[in-house]
């Protein structure tokens, strides 16, 4: 039975300036959503299909295309917003959960934007990174809390404390877990090459490791998610580190979802699942039904790989985040990645993406505080992820207590992504969140890897300058140094939780 | 910009305070006349087995009663008295300096490897954190801090510093940036064995404080030297590191230097940075620290503050300026300026 709701007002309207247009047809070729088509020698437009991916605008040689958002709106109403009304129409028609792509669109204040960084003036001099060393090198993994040192009769000193494996990063910025399946092989290749070039690491996501990525395996953190897609001992042995994905910021409390449209033959082989089938990973790991099960999983993974690799755990930032992190710190895990509620995703139920979880700034601050309180801070490194947008966010996350960050969306944007949020449709016009060969071919891994490497390099330079200005010449001196942050227009309660003073204090 | 000075006699020969007064006032250009302080080791031989607590009372009566009561719960006050002072026209007195000679009851810290020091540490934290108008400024055996807001000469004359004889002296000439009226806040800082004077300002105060407070230390003054003293106490007394390794943990070599070291040394230095990353101090500083057995001077690893070292016979000098050393020892035999990352460690003969 059809609905009586009819069509909704256009979300975007595309127009072509016919005087400018030279009818080259690049828009027709480039749009993967079917907005443009030839009608004889004229280009027709179907604005209803538009996702604002900007592919047509980016490739129109004459700047002849114009995109307008919400050209026709509903009666304005403070409560019954456009989004609320359209969700109801959508669900009234389908009776289903609404899927969405990319990070939260909820219009909530961003704490990072209310934190200001410090700089030195006269009582302490700034350090000039052009002339003096400023160290960004970061080690991720367990650190001893105390050293056992033996002084031998001949006066030599010997360290008897055994160090466990750590990952060495030249910059505290890593590329987060985006699976093959959610994104294309070319996108993964581009990031892998960028990670190698910039001395950092990238996550495989939960989709296994494609054979084409083997040359970069020493720069890969292989992920084990609850679906165990693509996991076998060969996969584990290839990674530089292993990450147990226990949760994701965009959808805390539920498992992953890869629509069957994106499960191509190659994806099916890498994930070890049937072609075209939806890949739904369960909400919990079926061998972790309580915290005491986690050490068993950690130990079995370590045992399988000869205790040579650090094991990370990733969780979504939720109310009892500090408790979760402290529990994980006792499980043998070497680093905990905390994914804030603005974290990205290929596909998540909208209601989770926009309404569940807590901000990464708070999650990192409370985790760091709790770990220190319990004397566990050296047991795990902390990785902040979920909406790290610029170098200042990295510096602020570290000052709040993180050891490093994962970036996801920012890396995709560096490859051309316009954050249109339609990743789950599988027809990404930029060749990133798609498996269609013709679209994937649009993303040249050499070009894209350079762009991602440039981004990491640029942020690294900016962080170096920020640290120098603050008179800090090693990243561990910025870590948890909340004294170098000030809150601007944050309420007293939040300032207390972040343990940051107000501007002027 | 402050001026610091330290002198140690390796054979424990005593020096009275007059030479130190002279040396410190030679650096008045580095100060602002709003703070000076002296520490001396060996000044209370008749009470050498007691912890000498130097305390500033806001209200001589009420504050003293509160401290008396606390101390009596935890041990025996062998003797207490006002610290002899002599009013100076240039000094505005706003507290009463007092001293206790205190013996903690070790049985109240069962199981501790250093019960007396644990008790004294807790007492100092407790008294300084509570609003009783009392502040413990030094708490070691046979050692005491004399400090006030004023020029070095006035402070020295106020405490009659020339009447004290010690084998290690540290001194600090302050360029005030905050709270010039407070006597307790500026350097030197002391916690039982360790005393610290600093020239500089660390940019890692927040990180270091978070780290040290997780071990139960309570930073009540908000000063660098407080955090530094606690870090040294933690690393040396509680973690058992030798002073050279402790200094290396606080001001470690760059990774680039570590990468070039032989394998075993690399491992040790990496482990130090791994374990003590949050204790690493950054920003410009020269620190001179002392305990009854040694005096140590070190700078930040970029050496953004001066450190001059002089040697003459059994005497080791560490100062911000050569002129200060020469003021006390005109015939100084050797003057050196150690590079960044090279600590100067002088030990008293056993």
Residues A329, A334: Cα–Cα separation, whole Å: 8
Q: What is the mean pLDDT of chain B?
A: 95
A342-361 mean pLDDT:
94
Could you report the per-residue pLDDT of B300-325, keeping only the tens digit for each? 988 999 999 999 999 999 999 999 99
Q: B3-347 is classed in which CATH architecture?
A: 4-Layer Sandwich (3.60)
Q: B284 to chain A: which residues are within 8 Å by CB? A: 124-125, 471
pLDDT tier, B20 (very low <50, low <70, confident <90, very high otherwise): very high
Taking CA–CA distances from A162, the nearest residue in chain B reads: B271
What pLDDT was estimated at residue A388? Answer: 97
- What contacts B86, CB < 8 A, 6 or more positions away? B157, B158, B160
Could you report the per-residue pLDDT of B161-207, keeping only the tens digit for each? 999 999 999 999 999 888 888 898 889 999 999 999 999 999 999 99
* Rounded percentage of chain A residues whose pLDDT exceeds 70: 100
- CATH (one of 2.60.120.330, 3.30.70.20, 1.10.10.10, 3.30.70.1150) for A12-96: 3.30.70.20
ipTM rounded to 2 decimals: 0.92
A23-27 mean pLDDT:
96
A380-to-A294, A404, B239 alpha-carbon distances in Å: 15, 12, 20
CB A101 within 8 A of CB A423: yes
A480/B275 touch (CB, cutoff 8 Å), yes or no: no
B302 interfaces chain A, CB cutoff of 8 Å: yes
CB B324 within 8 A of CB B20: no
B207/A377 touch (CB, cutoff 8 Å), yes or no: no
Residues A206, A245: Cα–Cα separation, whole Å: 8
A159/B267 touch (CB, cutoff 8 Å), yes or no: yes
B3-27 mean pLDDT:
97
Min CA distance, B83 vs chain A (Å)? 34
CB B163 within 8 A of CB B156: no
Could you report the per-residue pLDDT of A87-112, keeping only the tens digit for each? 999 999 999 999 888 889 999 999 99
CB A324 within 8 A of CB A255: no
Q: A380 to chain B: which residues are within 8 Å by CB? A: none
B214/A375 touch (CB, cutoff 8 Å), yes or no: yes
CATH 3.20.20.70 is the classification of domain A172-256+288-479: yes
Q: B207 to chain A: which residues are within 8 Å by CB? A: 476-481, 483
Could you report the per-residue pLDDT of A227-275, keeping only the tens digit for each? 999 999 999 999 999 999 999 999 999 988 888 989 999 999 999 999 9
Closest CB from A125, A478, A480 relative to B210: A480
What pLDDT was estimated at residue A48? Answer: 97
What pLDDT was estimated at residue B60? Answer: 87
Q: At what angle do helices A360-373 and A391-400 cross, to 10 degrees?
A: 30
Whole-angstrom distance between the N-terminal and C-terminal Cα of chain B?
A: 36
Question: Mutating which of A144, A146, A168, A499 best tests the B interface, going by the most B Cβ atoms within 10 A?
Answer: A146
Could you report the per-residue pLDDT of A428-444, keeping only the tens digit for each? 999 999 999 999 999 99
A37-45 mean pLDDT:
96
What pLDDT was estimated at residue B180? Answer: 84
B61-66 LR contacts (CB < 8 Å, sep 24+) = B62/B132, B62/B133, B63/B132, B63/B133, B63/B134, B64/B98, B64/B134, B66/B127, B66/B130, B66/B132, B66/B133, B66/B134
For every residue of A359-403, DSSP letters joined together read: -HHHHHHHHHHHHHHTT-GGG-EEEEES---SHHHHHHHHHHT-S
Is the confidence at residue A180, as pLDDT, over 90? yes
A308-324 mean pLDDT:
97
What pLDDT was estimated at residue A124? Answer: 87
Residues A37, A31: Cα–Cα separation, whole Å: 9
What pLDDT was estimated at residue B182? Answer: 86
Can you give the length of chain A in residues? Answer: 505
What are the domain boundaries of chain A? 12-96, 172-256+288-479
Could you report the per-residue pLDDT of A187-226, keeping only the tens digit for each? 999 999 999 999 999 999 999 999 999 999 999 999 999 9
Q: Is B59 helix (H, G, I), strand (E, B) or coil?
A: coil
Rounded to two decimals, what is the model's pTM?
A: 0.95
| Token couple for B22 | 């002279």
What pLDDT was estimated at residue A289? Answer: 92
B256/A480 touch (CB, cutoff 8 Å), yes or no: no
Fold matches, A12-96 and A172-256+288-479: no
Question: Mutating which of B198, B201, B205, B210 best tests the A interface, going by the most A Cβ atoms within 10 A?
Answer: B210
pLDDT tier, B1 (very low <50, low <70, confident <90, very high otherwise): low
Closest CB from B211, B275, B302 relative to A473: B302
B274/A139 touch (CB, cutoff 8 Å), yes or no: yes
Please name the residues between 166 and 195 in chain B that touch chain A, using a CB distance below 8 Å: 177
Q: Is residue B2 annotated as part of the catalytic site, yes or no?
A: yes
Taking CA–CA distances from A161, the nearest residue in chain B reads: B271
């Amino acid at each position: 039975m059809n609905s009586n709701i009819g069509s909704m007002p256009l979300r975007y309207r595309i127009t072509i300036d016919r005087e400018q247009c030279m009818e080259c047809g690049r828009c027709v070729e480039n749009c993967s959503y079917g907005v443009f088509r030839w009608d004889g020698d004229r280009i027709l437009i179907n604005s209803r299909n538009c996702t604002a991916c900007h592919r047509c605008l980016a490739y129109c040689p004459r700047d002849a295309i114009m995109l307008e958002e919400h050209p026709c709106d509903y009666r304005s109403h403070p409560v019954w917003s456009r989004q609320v009304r359209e969700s109801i129409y959508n669900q009234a028609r389908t009776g289903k959960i609404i899927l969405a792509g990319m990070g939260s669109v909820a219009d909530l204040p961003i704490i990072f934007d209310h934190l200001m960084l410090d700089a030195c003036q006269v009582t302490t001099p700034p350090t000039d990174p052009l002339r003096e060393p400023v160290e960004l090198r970061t080690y991720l993994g367990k650190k001893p809390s105390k050293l056992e040192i033996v002084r031998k009769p001949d006066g030599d000193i010997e360290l008897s404390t055994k160090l466990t494996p750590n990952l060495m990063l030249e910059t505290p910025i890593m590329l987060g877990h985006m699976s093959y399946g959610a994104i294309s092989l070319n996108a993964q290749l581009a990031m892998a090459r960028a990670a190698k070039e910039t001395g950092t690491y990238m996550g495989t996501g939960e989709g296994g490791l494609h054979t084409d990525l083997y040359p970069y395996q020493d720069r890969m953190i292989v992920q084990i998610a609850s679906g165990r897609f693509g996991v076998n001992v060969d996969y584990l042995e290839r990674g530089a580190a292993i990450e147990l994905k226990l949760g994701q910021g965009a959808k805390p409390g539920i498992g992953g979802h890869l629509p069957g449209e994106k499960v191509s033959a190659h994806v099916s082989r890498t994930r070890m699942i049937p072609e075209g089938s939806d890949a739904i990973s369960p909400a919990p790991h079926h061998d972790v039904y309580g915290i005491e099960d986690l050490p068993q999983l950690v130990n079995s993974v370590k045992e399988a790989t000869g205790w040579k690799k650090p094991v990370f755990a990733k969780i979504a930032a939720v109310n009892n985040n500090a408790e979760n992190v402290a529990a994980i710190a006792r499980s043998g895990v070497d680093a905990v990645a905390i994914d804030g509620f603005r974290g990205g995703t290929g596909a998540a139920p909208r209601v989770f993406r926009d309404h569940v979880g807590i901000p990464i700034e708070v999650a990192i601050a409370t985790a760091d505080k709790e770990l220190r309180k319990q004397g566990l801070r050296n047991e795990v490194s902390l990785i902040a992820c979920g909406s790290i947008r610029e170098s200042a966010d990295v510096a602020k996350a570290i000052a709040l207590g993180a050891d490093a960050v994962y970036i996801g969306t920012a890396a995709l944007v560096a490859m051309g992504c316009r954050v249109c949020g339609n990743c789950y449709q599988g027809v990404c016009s930029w060749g990133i969140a798609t498996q269609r060969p013709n679209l994937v071919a649009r993303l040249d891994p050499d070009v894209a890897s350079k762009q991602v490497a440039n981004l990491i390099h640029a942020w690294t330079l900016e962080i170096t300058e920020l640290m120098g200005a603050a008179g800090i010449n090693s990243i561990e001196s910025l870590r948890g140094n909340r004294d170098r942050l000030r809150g601007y227009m944050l309420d007293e309660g939040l300032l207390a939780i972040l343990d940051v003073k107000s501007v002027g204090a | 910009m402050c001026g610091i000075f330290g002198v140690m006699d390796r054979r424990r020969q005593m020096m009275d305070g007059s030479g130190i007064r002279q040396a410190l006032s030679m650096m008045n250009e580095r100060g602002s006349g709003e703070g000076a302080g002296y520490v001396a080791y060996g000044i209370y031989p008749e009470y050498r087995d007691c912890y000498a607590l130097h305390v500033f009372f806001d209200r001589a009566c009420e504050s003293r009663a509160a401290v008396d009561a606390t101390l009596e719960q935890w041990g025996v006050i062998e003797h207490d008295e006002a610290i002899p002072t002599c009013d100076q026209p240039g000094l505005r007195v706003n507290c009463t300096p007092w001293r206790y000679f205190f013996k903690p009851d070790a049985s109240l810290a069962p199981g501790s490897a250093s019960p007396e020091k644990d008790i004294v540490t807790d007492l100092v934290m407790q008294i300084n954190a509570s609003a009783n108008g009392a502040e413990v400024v030094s708490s070691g055996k046979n050692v005491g801090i004399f400090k006030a807001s004023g020029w070095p000469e006035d402070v020295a004359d106020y405490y009659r510093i020339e009447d004290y004889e010690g084998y290690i002296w540290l001194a600090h000439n302050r360029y005030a940036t905050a709270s010039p009226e407070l006597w307790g806040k500026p350097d030197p800082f002391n916690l039982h064995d360790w005393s610290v004077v600093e020239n500089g300002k660390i940019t890692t105060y927040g990180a270091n404080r978070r780290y040290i407070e997780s071990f139960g230390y309570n930073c009540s003054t908000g000063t660098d030297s407080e955090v530094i003293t606690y870090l040294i106490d933690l690393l040396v007394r509680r973690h058992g590191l030798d002073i050279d390794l402790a200094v290396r943990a606080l001001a470690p070599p760059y990774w680039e230097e570590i990468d070039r070291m032989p394998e075993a040394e690399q491992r040790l230095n990496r482990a130090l940075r791994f374990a003590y990353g949050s204790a690493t101090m950054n920003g410009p500083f020269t620190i001179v620290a002392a305990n009854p057995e040694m005096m140590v001077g070190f700078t930040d690893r970029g050496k953004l503050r001066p450190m001059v070292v002089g040697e003459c016979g059994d005497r080791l000098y560490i100062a911000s300026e050569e002129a200060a050393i020469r003021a006390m020892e005109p015939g100084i035999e050797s003057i050196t300026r150690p590079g960044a990352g090279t600590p100067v460690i002088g030990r008293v003969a056993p």
